[in-house]
Structure 1
Amino acid sequence: MNAIQPSRPPLQPTQKPRVVPRPKRHLRQRSYQMMALEGTAKIAVNLVITAVAASALIKLLPEQSLQQEKLREISTEVKLMEGRVNTLRAEFSRNFDPHQAKSIRQEQGYRFDPNQRQIVLINQDGQEVESIESSP
């Protein structure tokens, strides 16, 4: 167990290969060139994007003005139609009002209540001026 082991030769320092230092100036100059190239590329890309956005805006502005004009025309037509609808709605409600049925029949049929007499106003010239219905 405790056998004698052969002795090892003493360790000699191994020679490391000599590292040749690079000139640091060259590395710095290259990194500055890469940064300048990167910055120039970013600026170029941003200019291209800006040009595309500007051309898109130039194309969209006339379309937007046409759409605004169409919107104004449609708004005007809507207001006119709302007025017409309100008039027709009022006429509809009047036509189907049972309290107004008698007066509507007289207007539409030119028939008068037998209790009413027609009064005709005549000028001295003999021309009819106005016809009025009155109750006796």
Structure 2
Amino acid sequence: MNAIQPSYHPLQQPTVARRRVRRASPTANRQPYRAVSGETTAKLFANIVISSAAVSGLVQLLPYQLSQQTKLQDLKKEVSRSEKRVTRLSSTFNRHFDPEQSQVVMQEQSNRVAPTQRRVILLDKDLVRD
């Protein structure tokens, strides 16, 4: 009789069977790291490709930029020369159209002399015979 019934003490509570929680296997834990490492590798590869394209573009643009700098220096020299010429021509223009200097300009450009002035002719002594 006693062999069929489990031993049960009146003050003791019946034991409940507990479920065992399965732990993840070591291969299951590695899967998330593989996904992250694959994504990181893809990003790294894409960044290397983009960087190499950028460097290649800069290397190709360098000779063009140098030639443009040379052209710019030539243009700056030409602008400087033109500014000097414009300044000189502007002063000449102002002189020609100044009413106070019109008599002086006419005398410079022709052989005429103002009626109030006397003409002075310089002669070499050796060439003049008395």
User: Corresponding residue for 1:28?
Assistant: 29
SS of residue paired to 1:111: coil
Q: Percent identity?
A: 39
> Aligned equivalents of 1:55 and 1:110: distance in 2?
72
Q: Which runs of 5+ in 2 are unaligned?
A: 1-18
Aligned to 1:73: 74
1:31 Cα offset (Å) = 1.0
Larger proportion of strand: 1
Structure 2 CA distance for aligned equivalents of residues 91 and 69 of structure 1: 34
Change (3 A) 1:19 1:110: farther
Q: TM-score, normalised by structure 1?
A: 0.72
How far the C-alpha of 1:40 sits from its partner, in A, is: 0.9
Amino acid at match of 1:86: T
Stretch moving more, 118-127 or 21-30 = 118-127
Query: How far is 1:112 from its partner?
Result: 0.8
Query: Could you list the per-position Cα deviations for residues 11-33 of structure 1 after superposition, in whole angstroms to 9, with x for gaps in the alignment?
Result: xxxxxxx9994633222111111
Q: Which has the higher contact order (CA 8 A, sep 6+)?
A: 1
Counterpart CA distance in 1 for 2:70 and 2:20 is: 78
The CA distance in 2 between the partners of 1:114 and 1:34, in whole Å, is 108
Measured on the aligned residues, the alpha-carbon RMSD in Å equals 2.2
Aligned to 2:64: 63
Q: Unaligned 5+ residue runs, structure 1?
A: 1-17, 128-136
TM-score for both structures, normalised by structure 2: 0.75
- Counterpart CA distance in 1 for 2:107 and 2:125 is 30
